[in-house]
Structure 1
């Protein structure tokens, strides 16, 4: 009997699945991060070097970062003019030793708080006012405006306290507070009354000081014919803007002769231009 032909077992071919190559997102992100870090490091190289060097002298990390930013801003404005602003909160200042920041950036001017509201006189004003003149710093006096007090009484408080001389900066109105018992429009009327009365007395147009946000929201348009001194401490703000005559860029400076932290300012021009801006008679 013939044997039936044996069937060969059939084998199914395994289909070869081609795997798509994975896109290297992780590597690309890492490369981008490294590039950004390198750019950041290069941009802030002066500040980073200053920070590392200052670590040896002790102090908090926050203070060291603040001093590094100050160094960065000063380095970017070597063609400008630097100065302080002070009040009784800095205590008794040794003006004899004040001449520069970091023994590298010379100081040319100082703003001094004279008055606040309708009856406050800064306890250190008289001393600071005479000492800065003696030590040949260009000086300017400012009034801290209280929105809920009479504007004319505030102007008269400043006028009876401050005697401007030839070579002094124009008087300054410092407005930072929001009104509690009046509208913004009435606040602006009061500010204008203060400015007009002070200008009539000193025969020189005053300046206005405020924070950048306050300036942008309430002052920039209606007070556009005045010069502005603007406060902005933003870490990433590195350059003075064209419409700022002065820029207060930090409140954390440490200056030889001042025993508390102090504000630093940049004038948007050269020392010669600053002298031209002072009172002429």
Structure 2
């Protein structure tokens, strides 16, 4: 496990926990939080989506929000972002756009890439910074400086504090203490939390869900509150 986790931090491969550690059924986790709001996040990897039937989770819970990958690094734009962003506008779902942060690239250029790509308005989620990897040629302190530069530039441009997405282990090891004034969106697919950490705004509970309208698997997230609470996080 430790060797796999280290590879997760230092590579561009997504860390997958061994199957035997996945003890909680997705339906059990969802049913333990039926009073909360649920949503999904997508990118170009979902490819074709039938937006006309995209409405409920496999458990019947409504999909209330959707996050779409907008950018990655200094110059990558998700191939499906523009199309998916407009399609999401035509639904009842709250929507947000996230940036995949590459630690070895300039933080300001990455922020500019997001700014030129994403137009947010009232009722959208704040910008999201997705940080999952460690730098290959700089210290953790330097990484944190870069993250803060990205966050500060984005907050100045949009007038709202961004959300930070990461895994629970990365959050605990590198982010929790130095970025405590930001909303967090935390991924942990193996845990069963009846009481979600109060410092987490969102919990990504699975990467492996099936939803009508999307071919293949998709990520599912639970907001740490109901729809009324969720609205408080949105851009005013």
Residue matched to 2:36: 80
Question: Per the alignment, in what secondary structure is the counterpart of residue 71 of structure 2?
Answer: strand
Contact 2:184 2:202 in 1 (8 A): yes
Q: 4+ runs of 1 displaced by more than 6 Å? A: 65-68
Map 1:193-232 → 2, pairs under 5 A: 193-232=149-188
* Residue-by-residue CA offset, 1:174-207 (whole Å, 9 max, x unaligned): 0000110100000000000000000000011101
Cα displacement (A) at 1:265: 0.1
Residue matched to 2:148: 192
Structure 2 CA distance for aligned equivalents of residues 277 and 161 of structure 1: 22
Structure 1 CA distance for aligned equivalents of residues 122 and 229 of structure 2: 15
**Residues 1:95 and 2:51 aligned together:** yes
Contact 2:43 2:69 in 1 (8 A): yes
Contact 1:76 1:239 in 2 (8 A): no
Cα displacement (A) at 1:247: 0.1
Question: Per the alignment, in what secondary structure is the counterpart of residue 72 of structure 1?
Answer: helix
Cα displacement (A) at 1:235: 4.8
TM-score by structure 2 length? 0.88
Structure 2 CA distance for aligned equivalents of residues 69 and 238 of structure 1: 13
Map 1:243-258 → 2, pairs under 5 A: 243-258=199-214
CA RMSD between the two structures: 1.9
Map 1:138-217 → 2, pairs under 5 A: 138-217=94-173
* Residue-by-residue CA offset, 1:137-191 (whole Å, 9 max, x unaligned): 1000000000000000000000000000111000000000011010000000000
Cα displacement (A) at 1:239: 4.5
Contact 1:210 1:229 in 2 (8 A): yes
Aligned residues: 218
Unaligned runs of 5+ in 2: 1-17
Structure 1 CA distance for aligned equivalents of residues 190 and 117 of structure 2: 34
* Structure 1 range deviating more: 185-194 or 94-103: 94-103
Structure 2 CA distance for aligned equivalents of residues 66 and 134 of structure 1: 36
